[in-house]
């Protein structure tokens, strides 16, 4: 699955559902997203079948996402069946249901768990997510750490909302074995994005220097295809990182593709063009060529929004699905 720019794609993210038990304002439009009949979405056996085709084509890593993947009734069966494939399996979750799935994670050897947490303050977290689950999320993060999982915490940084907590999150990593990843706020359908609400990699680093001093933290090695720039407080147990999709995109080394819950292949988070794999699969067709064509048509950068002015243009950046319906 090599594209026209020589990028090899071996990492698939599969969205298990568009539904969610939170309503994070940067991800889900205030009015929610229209509900569609169940048969528009992939059934368990279809997910497994499509995943197997991707593995044949060279996928080595699969991450489950959504909406909230763990609200899907058969999530445990999907996790167990996928864990039998020769891949590294991970999941991105809001953490609310982690305690109910922790045994399933352990039995399936699923170690890489990303939990979203945008504030360390109870009330602020409730206002961002429009629901009150802070205590449960925090206790589930602790449970994952105690049970030896590799826990990454995803934090979308937004000016005037949680940017005052950047250094509190970093301080948290001093004595806690978590990897906090600050994500620059990105535009998706219905999230009312403009970059004045975003906080850049440079600004995050300069605030870190102000609080901890230039020698209080250090850069650590990034892994191949890493989307983040990684750091550690000197002497810290945990680590922190910045994912700078807006100010410093990592498109050159992108190895990712996405399968939406309704069975569409997206070769970029920001791409508007989608390939309908589910309808072809149901018609009994071979989806292999469709997948290869889709990859060959991948644009060099952010679904074709090459410049920051394109990326900031609502006429272009709001044509995409909302994030909850893509699968981040
Ligand atoms: N519900 C799960 C969760 O919240 O982790 C998985 C799905 S969620 C769409 C995946 C990730 O996308 C989350 O870490 C979330 O913070 C991130 N995300 C959603 N909207 C975003 C935006 N506008 N900019 C940056 N990251 C975003
Ligand atoms: Fe749900 Fe995750 Fe989106 Fe929040 S970020 S609304 S938890 S899908």
Q: Which domains does the chain have, with CATH numbers?
A: 11-326 (3.20.20.70)
3-state secondary structure of 62: strand
Residue with CA at minimum distance from ligand 1 atom 7: 66
Would you give per-residue pLDDT tens digits along the chain (328 residues)?
999 999 999 999 999 999 999 999 999 887 788 889 999 999 999 999 999 999 999 999 999 999 999 999 999 999 999 999 999 999 999 999 999 999 999 999 999 999 999 999 999 999 999 999 999 999 999 999 999 999 999 999 999 999 999 999 999 999 999 999 999 999 888 888 889 999 999 999 999 999 999 999 999 998 877 888 999 999 999 999 999 988 888 899 999 999 999 999 999 998 888 999 999 999 999 999 999 999 999 999 888 888 778 888 887 777 778 888 888 7
Q: What is the distance in A from the centroid of ligand 1 to the CA of 283?
A: 33
What is the number of the ligand 1 atom nearest to the C-alpha of 20? 1
| Atom 22 in ligand 1: residue holding the nearest Cα | 186
Torsion of CA 18, 283, 53, 5, to 10 degrees: -80
Looking at ligand 1, which residue's alpha carbon is closest to its atom 12?
328
Check if 70 has its Cβ closer than 6 Å to any atom of ligand 2.
no
In the structure encoding, which two tokens stand for residue 7, read together?
């990028």
User: What is the number of the ligand 1 atom nearest to the C-alpha of 188?
Assistant: 23
Residue 109: CA count within 13 A, CB half-sphere:
9
Instruction: Tell me the C-alpha to C-alpha distance, in Å, between residue 62 and each of 32, 121, 160.
Output: 27, 32, 35
Q: What is the pTM of this model?
A: 0.95
235 C-alpha to ligand 2 centroid (Å): 33
Cα 211 to ligand 2 centre (Å): 30
Neighbouring residues of 249: CB distance < 8 A, sequence distance ≥ 6: 301, 302
């Amino acid at each position: 699955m090599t594209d026209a720019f020589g990028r090899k794609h071996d990492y698939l993210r599969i969205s298990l559902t568009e539904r969610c038990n939170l309503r994070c304002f940067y991800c889900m439009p205030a009015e929610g997203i229209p509900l569609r009949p169940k048969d528009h979405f992939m059934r368990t056996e279809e997910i497994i079948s499509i995943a197997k085709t991707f593995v044949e084509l060279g996928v080595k890593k699969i991450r489950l996402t959504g909406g909230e993947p763990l609200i899907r009734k058969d999530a445990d069966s999907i996790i167990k069946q996928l864990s039998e494939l020769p891949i590294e399996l991970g999941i991105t979750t809001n953490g609310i249901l982690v305690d109910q799935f922790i045994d399933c994670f352990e039995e399936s050897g699923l170690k890489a768990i990303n939990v979203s947490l945008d504030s360390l303050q109870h009330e602020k977290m409730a206002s961002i997510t429009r629901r009150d689950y802070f205590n449960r999320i925090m206790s589930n993060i602790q449970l994952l750490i105690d049970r030896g999982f590799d826990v990454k915490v995803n934090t979308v940084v937004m000016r005037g909302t949680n940017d005052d907590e950047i250094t509190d999150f970093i301080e948290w990593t001093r004595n806690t074995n978590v990897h906090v990843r600050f994500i620059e706020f990105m535009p998706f359908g219905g999230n009312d994005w403009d970059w004045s609400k975003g906080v850049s990699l440079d600004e995050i680093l300069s605030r870190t220097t102000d609080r901890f001093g230039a020698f209080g933290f250090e850069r650590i090695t990034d892994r191949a295809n890493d989307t983040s720039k990684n750091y550690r407080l000197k002497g810290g147990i945990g680590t922190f990182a910045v994912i700078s999709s807006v100010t410093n995109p990592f498109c050159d080394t992108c190895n990712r593709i996405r399968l939406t819950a309704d069975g569409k292949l997206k070769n970029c988070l920001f791409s508007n063009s989608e390939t309908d794999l589910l309808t072809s699969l149901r018609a009994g067709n071979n989806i292999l060529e469709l997948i290869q064509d889709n990859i060959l048509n991948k644009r060099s950068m952010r679904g074709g929004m090459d410049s920051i002015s394109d990326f900031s243009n609502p006429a272009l950046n709001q044509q995409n699905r909302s994030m909850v319906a893509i699968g981040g």
